[in-house]
């Protein structure tokens, strides 16, 4: 088990011995499948006048996630996908409209990307209760 906060900021390393492609900015979750679907990374350009750019990698491109880095199967797996929603810091609402705090962290299985639990300011929410994630909130099934 790993936490999203442990992965954020890790270097993303290609399979070859080249330098890092960037650092993990966030993980995108497909709530319908209960899995991490993409890794969003912040890339750095060599020129000072350029800004950082965010790139998205499919979870299938990830070979291993460890405490020191995210290693890729292939460096050519950059995706162009619609914007994702970062779960960390997102408000949590039940399907009945009641507030359930704010997301503090998410536990997942690094080998598969399967979500185990979401930790909120009001307690733990098991992955089976996740219903949707949008601009405003993470929606979960009421107890």
* pLDDT greater at residue 62 or residue 43: 62
Q: Give 75's contacts (C-beta < 8 A, 6+ positions apart).
A: 14, 15, 16, 18, 21
Query: Domain 2-79 falls in which CATH fold?
Result: SH3 type barrels. (2.30.30)
The radius of gyration of the chain from alpha carbons, rounded to an integer in Å, stands at: 16
Q: Two tokens at 59?
A: 């979870």
Q: Rounded distance, CA 113 to CA 27, Å?
A: 10
d(CA 105, CA 121): 10
Would the CATH topology of 2-79 be identical to that of 91-140? yes
Assess whether pLDDT exceeds 60 at residue 48: no
In the chain, what are the domain boundaries? 2-79, 91-140
Average pLDDT over residues 67-71: 90
- What is the band of 53 on the pLDDT scale with cuts at 50, 70, 90? low
**CATH 2.30.30.240 matches 91-140:** yes
Cβ atoms of 70 and 39 within 8 Å: the answer is yes
pLDDT digits (tens, 9 = 90+) for 112-128: 999 999 999 999 999 99
């Amino acid at each position: 088990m790993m936490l999203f906060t442990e992965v954020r900021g890790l270097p993303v390393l290609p399979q070859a011995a080249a330098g890092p492609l960037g650092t993990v900015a966030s993980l995108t979750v497909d709530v319908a499948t209960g899995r991490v679907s993409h890794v969003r990374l912040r890339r750095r350009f060599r020129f000072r006048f350029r800004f950082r750019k965010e790139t998205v990698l499919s979870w299938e491109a990830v070979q291993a996630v460890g405490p020191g880095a995210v290693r890729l199967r292939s460096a050519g797996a950059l995706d162009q996908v619609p914007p994702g929603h970062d779960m960390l810091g997102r408000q949590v609402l039940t399907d009945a409209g009641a507030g359930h705090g704010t997301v503090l962290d998410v536990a997942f299985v690094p080998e598969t990307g399967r979500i185990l639990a979401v930790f909120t300011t009001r307690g733990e929410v098991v992955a089976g209760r996740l219903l949707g994630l949008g601009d405003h909130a993470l929606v979960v099934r009421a107890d």
